[in-house]
Structure formats: C-alpha cells, structure tokens
Amino acid sequence: MADSQFLKTTIILPVSDIHDTIAWYEKALGFESRYVHGSGRRGGAEDFANYAIMNRDAGEVHFILDEGGAVWTRAGTGHLGLTVRDVDAVYAEVQSRGIAIARNLQQENWPARGFDLNDPSGNAVHIEQPI
C-alpha cells in the first residue's frame, strides 16, 4: 500500500480558443505556456491548436478545445481553484493588469480570503489564501 501514493492532480479546463486562453492566462495571472498541441486556429488551419499546458510556480493547468464532444469538454463549464501564498499580492497584480474581477477580494465562509475571475471562455477562476 505504501507504493500507491498520489503525486499530482491534473486540472483540465474546456475553452473556446486555445490562443485567446493562453494570452489571457499570461496577462491575468502570469502563467507561461509549456506545451501547445497544434499551431493554427480552428477554421483556418488543418493543424489547429486543441490542447495546451500552462504553469506558474507549482501550479499547472491544462486546457482542451471545445470541439462539441463530451459535456465536460464544453467551454465555460470549468472551475479552477488556485491557492496562493499572498492573495493580496495576486489581487494587486490582477488589478494592475486591468483584468475584470468577477468577485472582489473578501473573507470566505471558510478560513480563507479570496476573489474570483472569469476566463475568456467563461470558466470560473477562484484564487484564495488559507488563513
């Protein structure tokens, strides 16, 4: 039983456009692209981008293009929860970049402070710091 240790979780958010998503996560949260499958845009290239992996520090998020498949791959149905060391600093970063805040920084109903964003596909992004 000691060898059956979970090492990592993978969050996969469905999005309507991989390129717009990459640009937003870079600008809004300082994430960096680590992998993009395909290069063009849907409708304009046979090899359009349909999957991407981005990260910042230890946080990693995967994105899958909504191609009308299974319900879980539909853009706008995802929720990303990010736990940070200093929520005030991240909140200030996001504000300074001109990103729309869906819910301002506040005390949660649990021992945390957090705020919410919506990515370009309508996925919810919750950022919090435990207290």
Segment 15-46, tens digit of pLDDT? 999 999 999 999 999 999 999 998 766 666 67
What is the distance between the alpha carbons of residues 61 and 75, in angstroms, rounded to a whole number?
Answer: 15
What is the distance between the alpha carbons of residues 53 and 36, in angstroms, rounded to a whole number?
Answer: 7
For residues 92-114, give the mean pLDDT. Answer: 97
pLDDT at 1 over 60: no
Q: Alpha carbon of 46 to those of 18, 40, 62, 93, 108: distances in Å?
A: 15, 8, 22, 37, 46
pLDDT, mean over the chain: 92
What is the distance between the alpha carbons of residues 22 and 61, in angstroms, rounded to a whole number?
Answer: 11
For residues 51-60, give the mean pLDDT. Answer: 96
Q: Where are the domains of the chain?
A: 12-66+78-130
What is the distance between the alpha carbons of residues 51 and 6, in angstroms, rounded to a whole number?
Answer: 24
How confident is the model at residue 42, as a pLDDT?
67
How confident is the model at residue 40, as a pLDDT?
66
pLDDT-derived band of residue 112, with 50, 70 and 90 as boundaries?
Answer: very high
Sheet containing strand 51-56, strands side by side = 12-15, 59-65, 51-56, 32-37
Q: Is the pTM of this model over 0.85?
A: yes
Which residue in 67, 89, 73, 78 sits closest to 119, CA to CA?
Answer: 78
What is the distance between the alpha carbons of residues 122 and 99, in angstroms, rounded to a whole number?
Answer: 14
- Write down how long the chain is: 131
For residues 52-77, give the mean pLDDT. Answer: 92
How confident is the model at residue 48, as a pLDDT?
81
How confident is the model at residue 65, as a pLDDT?
94
Determine whether domain 12-66+78-130 maps to CATH 3.30.420.40: no
How confident is the model at residue 63, as a pLDDT?
97
Segment 72-94, tens digit of pLDDT? 889 999 999 999 999 999 999 99
Which residue in 24, 7, 6 sits closest to 80, CA to CA?
Answer: 24
